[in-house]
Structure 1
Amino acid sequence: MKRHAATKKPIWKRPFFWVIIILIVLVGGITIGRQTGTTLSHHEKVSKPKPKPKPKPVKLTAKEKKVAKKYALSPQATAHAHTAKVTAIGDSVMVDITPELKQVFPHALINGAVGRQFYDLPTIAQSLKAEGKLADNVVVNLGTNGPPEKKDISRFLKVVGSKRQVYWINTHVPTQRWEGQTNRLIASTAKANHNVHVVDWHNLSNNHANWFAGDEVHLQTKGATAYVGLLAKTMAK
């Protein structure tokens, strides 16, 4: 009588099958874990912000140290202002603070006039540019005598170009209805143009009535010092 061949067990019922499966799972898990850890480690290295470099020590002259103390400036801001080429265009407020501006910015060319309006700005800038007197840093202080119009600002920015930096001092004229309109337009202009920066005089001067003359616009000595100090700090950023 022939023997019947033994029925083979399905492979999944055999012990060695499950040993192999368990080994595959273990090895695969370790490999995936290592890869994930490497990826996370790499991500952490990439996303970790670099520490900001410390500003280099600045050695000031005795005269510059006096300026730094008077205007509450850092050595870096003082040194920057001392060497910066600046063209400042403004109205009677700028005329009044010319001594302080020249003390902090000795290389500044100051073009101020009583009663000046915003619509004068493009023509003045064009004339200074034609004479080679429009510096890489242009400071604007207008708005005391009336609000700006977008077309005048657009013409001015076209004259200045995109490479010069414009530092626009906003307005403190609480007695005039156009104060808010002027400051909003200055802010929106800065937001739309990478080379235009707001010097926020309006915010700094709030609640400092003793900085101003009786008209609440023109400056006393303390106000002039704070005004020019703010400009120097903004330009040094």
Structure 2
Amino acid sequence: MSVIGLVTVVALTWAPVDWNGIAQARAIQLRPELAAPAKPVKKPAKPEPESSAINAANGETNTADANKNGSDSQPPIIKPIAEKVPNNLDISKYAYDPATESCNADMMMVGDSVTSGTSDAIQAAFPNAFIDGLPNRQLPQAVDVYQQDTAAGHSGSVVVFGLGTNGVISNEQEVQQLIDLTGGKPTYFITIRMPYPWQENNNNTMLREAAKKNKNVGIIDWHGYSEGHSEYLNDDGIHPNMTGAYAYATMIRQAVCGQ
């Protein structure tokens, strides 16, 4: 071996070899596409909630998501609950207290023994109310009673009459007399429940007919409210018991205050 060959062998033996470079060059020779620049890798998109994805596919809007984005739903509108509501009854003037289940309306109520027997429950529902109920009182007698009560300063912003269990209402004019006395105030008549259909049907019809002719007059339907609720009534089928008194007062409160 010549001196030059010996030097070459020694140099190859001790010189560092770039095996990775050799392997890469060999790979490119076999697969030229490896020499092309690598494409940037995209970050994975944040997964969408399942409900949102379904709604989006259906063209719907997720209400909960809309609320999170600052869209507030409107509060429920409170309206009087009655068969017919006086057209001038403004319940925004009154406040309902859910803790005591009471309304601060200054209601005036004139009635008979049903009113008298439920007066404690009605007073609890309306702490500011004036309630005048008397057993055996008939509807025509309420004209003088109303005049006496208002003269004594007991006039309320809304009037309720609970009459008709102690006799037949002879004609619609008897009802109209009471309506005229209220001077256009929001006024309610409460239908009766009796074990005598002839009296019940006659009187309730008279009350409803009068209400149809007077926009400021409404109907609270105790007859319908108590239908199928024998547990509300005493054995006579007329006067509410304690359970019925609470139901009766609640019915009136809903008609006057909406709750």
User: TM-score if structure 1 supplies the norm length?
Assistant: 0.66
Deviations 1:174-215 (A, max 9, x none): 235210011111111111111111001100111111111110
What are the ranges of 5 or more consecutive residues in structure 2 without an aligned counterpart? 1-72, 79-95
Correspondence for 2:60: none
CA–CA separation in structure 1 for the residues paired with 2:244 and 2:119 = 13
Displacement of 1:67 in angstroms is 3.3
Q: Give the partner amino acid of 1:187.
A: R
Displacement of 1:223 in angstroms is 0.9
Aligned sequence identity (%): 27
**SS at the partner of 2:108?**
strand
CA–CA separation in structure 2 for the residues paired with 1:152 and 1:192 = 14
Greater relative CO (CA pairs within 8 A, separation 6+): 2
Correspondence for 1:209: 230
> Which residue of the other structure, out of 176, 197, 200, is the alignment partner of 1:154?
176
Whether the 8 Å contact between 1:211 and 1:221 is mirrored in structure 2 is yes
Q: Give the partner amino acid of 1:157.
A: I
Q: Give the partner amino acid of 1:67.
A: T
Correspondence for 2:211: 190
Displacement of 1:143 in angstroms is 0.9
**SS at the partner of 1:177?**
helix
**SS at the partner of 1:101?**
helix
CA–CA separation in structure 1 for the residues paired with 2:197 and 2:167 = 9
Q: Does 1:90 align with 2:136?
A: no
User: TM-score if structure 2 supplies the norm length?
Assistant: 0.60
Q: Give the partner amino acid of 1:90.
A: G
Correspondence for 1:108: 129
**SS at the partner of 2:143?**
helix
**SS at the partner of 1:189?**
helix
Q: What value does the CA root-mean-square deviation take over the aligned residues? A: 2.4
CA–CA separation in structure 1 for the residues paired with 2:213 and 2:74 = 29
CA–CA separation in structure 2 for the residues paired with 1:166 and 1:100 = 20
Instruction: Give the structure with higher Rg (CA).
Output: 2
Q: Give the partner amino acid of 1:171.
A: I
Q: Does 1:67 align with 2:88?
A: no
**SS at the partner of 1:67?**
coil
Instruction: Decide which structure has greater helix share.
Output: 1
Displacement of 1:168 in angstroms is 1.0
CA–CA separation in structure 2 for the residues paired with 1:64 and 1:133 = 23
Whether the 8 Å contact between 1:90 and 1:141 is mirrored in structure 2 is yes
Q: Give the partner amino acid of 1:119.
A: P
Counting matched residue pairs gives 169
What are the ranges of 5 or more consecutive residues in structure 1 without an aligned counterpart? 1-51, 58-62, 69-77
Whether the 8 Å contact between 1:122 and 1:153 is mirrored in structure 2 is no
CA–CA separation in structure 2 for the residues paired with 1:176 and 1:144 = 12
Flag the 1:174–1:130 CA change in 2: closer, same or farther, 3 A. Answer: same
Q: Give the partner amino acid of 1:94.
A: T
Correspondence for 1:45: none
Flag the 1:131–1:175 CA change in 2: closer, same or farther, 3 A. Answer: same
Q: Give the partner amino acid of 1:204.
A: Y
Deviations 1:45-102 (A, max 9, x none): xxxxxxx963489xxxxx943433xxxxxxxxx4xx2x10011101111111111011
CA–CA separation in structure 2 for the residues paired with 1:173 and 1:143 = 10
Correspondence for 1:99: 120
Correspondence for 1:120: 141
Whether the 8 Å contact between 2:108 and 2:154 is mirrored in structure 1 is yes
